Amino acid sequence: MDGTPNDGGVNSWDLEATLDIEWSGAMAPGASLVVYEASAGNQDAAFALSVLKALEYARNDTVNHPNILSISYGDGETRFPIATMHAWDSVVRNSAAIGMTVFVASGDEGAYGLRGPGRPICHVDAPANCPHVVAVGGTHLVVNAAGQIAQETGWTDTNNNGASGGGISQIFPVPSYQEGIRLPVKPGYKRGRGVPDVALNADPDTGYAVLFQGAWTIVGGTSVASPIWAALFARIAQEGLVANRTVLGYVNPRLYLLGPTPAFRPITQGNNSYAGVVGYECTPGWNAVTGWGSPVGEQLAQGLLC
């Protein structure tokens, strides 16, 4: 994309891209997958610019014409220049206008969500904080011998295995689609965009099998939940083409209308406290751990296509 060479998957950090490709491809086998790579540099500002480059490149890609994008990277919003975060959201908003939907992992470090230096206080991950992306949180999923869901709770830090990223942005104001919901603003914080919007299994304890460097391993994280949500939308979009209905673009308002309906499995147990920082609780309705919850695929498709 910017001249950064692909290293052939020989480094440990390539597991991130590998799991995205394997699981989005497994869930939407008929989809064409494109990977956008840019040099992240060695500083937060450089990383922020690389995200902006990738977003702009994808939006202007007249060869592949992507209509769904998944991003599995991020960090606490206090780590990035405010102007650049607004630039991210501007590109996503413009991309939505031409029919692209962007999913972003909400993070794997609960309400703390901040790598490197920083006070241990609540942070929201960026670019999941952008109002025009669909922020994807995490759950802990248990199935029975028949493959049916036996239990699903918010991904909670029970054994130093991470927790679902989520909270209230201090950069972006409350978007219109969240005006009607209760946002759990902590003392000393101001109202802002709530994260995440939706969720999916992400706890490594109930994780996903990935083939990497010739060996199978089990991984978790919202880094997997986001591309699977993207794949689900690809399948729904395909149904939309058959039915001559558009389901892509700026989907957040439509998801929030479906939030209280059977299109979502509500998650009412768990929290995202992490690293000594008291996070948020799973509650009925929208919450700052799992959003509206995990998708009920057939019901979600019907709701979007009706």
Q: Which residues are catalytically annotated? A: 16, 20, 223
Kindly give, in sequence order, each residue whose CB lies less than 8 Å from that of residue 74, ignoring residues fewer than 6 positions away.
104, 105, 106, 107, 125, 126, 127, 128, 165
Number of other residues whose CB lies within 10 A of the CB of residue 86: 13
Of 197, 195, 293, 173, give the one whose Cα is nearest residue 253. 197
Kindly give, in sequence order, each residue whose CB lies less than 8 Å from that of residue 82, ignoring residues fewer than 6 positions away.
171
Of 137, 161, 146, give the one whose Cα is nearest residue 265. 137
Give the Cα separation of 260 and 283 in Å (integer): 13
To 5 degrees, how large is the angle CA 77–CA 81–CA 83? Answer: 110
Give the Cα separation of 124 and 172 in Å (integer): 11
69: Cα separation from own chain's centroid:
11
- Name the token pair of 263: 């299109």
Query: Is the Cβ–Cβ distance between 162 and 119 less than 8 Å?
Result: no
Query: Is the Cβ–Cβ distance between 295 and 152 less than 8 Å?
Result: no
Give the Cα separation of 62 and 239 in Å (integer): 24
Of 66, 97, 84, 188, give the one whose Cα is nearest residue 130. 84
